[in-house]
Amino acid sequence: MSSKDEPSPSPSPSPSSSSSSSPSPPEGGPWDQKTSEKFESKSFSKFFDPCQEAADRSLKCLHRNGGDRDMCVDYFQAYRDCKKQWVSRGLFPV
């Protein structure tokens, strides 16, 4: 077998280029450090909804205001904005 038949070794990545397994999440928005940790630590069979906190807040608002939707429009909009962001990325079920 000649040296031409042997594959050349691939260059190894530099240690400084891959110091962590995933990039840090951007600040702001529904995907923050807390959400990232929650997602990474969930069991594989458990569905994770990145907009669940916004959904919970809108439901609490409804309960607090006796079901008056007009009092909770900001909470509903926050949930819609969150869901729209995730659907547009293809990361959230419709």
What pTM did the predictor assign? 0.48
pLDDT at 8 over 90: no
pLDDT band (50, 70, 90) for residue 87? confident
Among the residues of 1-94, which ranges form H helices? 33-41, 52-64, 73-89
Q: Residue ranges per domain, the chain?
A: 49-89
| Side chain identity, residue 77 | Q
- Rounded to the nearest 10 degrees, the angle between the axes of helix 52-64 and helix 73-89 is 160
> Are the C-beta atoms of residues 13 and 21 closer than 8 Å to each other?
no
Spatial separation of the C-alpha atoms in residues 74 and 21, rounded to whole Å: 36
Compute CA 21 distance to the chain's CA centroid, rounded to the nearest angstrom. 16
For the segment 14-68, what is each residue's pLDDT rounded down to a tens digit?
444 444 444 454 455 666 777 777 767 766 556 677 888 999 999 999 999 999 9
Task: Look at residues 56, 38, 34, 62 and name the one whose alpha carbon lies nearest to residue 48.
Answer: 38
Spatial separation of the C-alpha atoms in residues 61 and 54, rounded to whole Å: 11
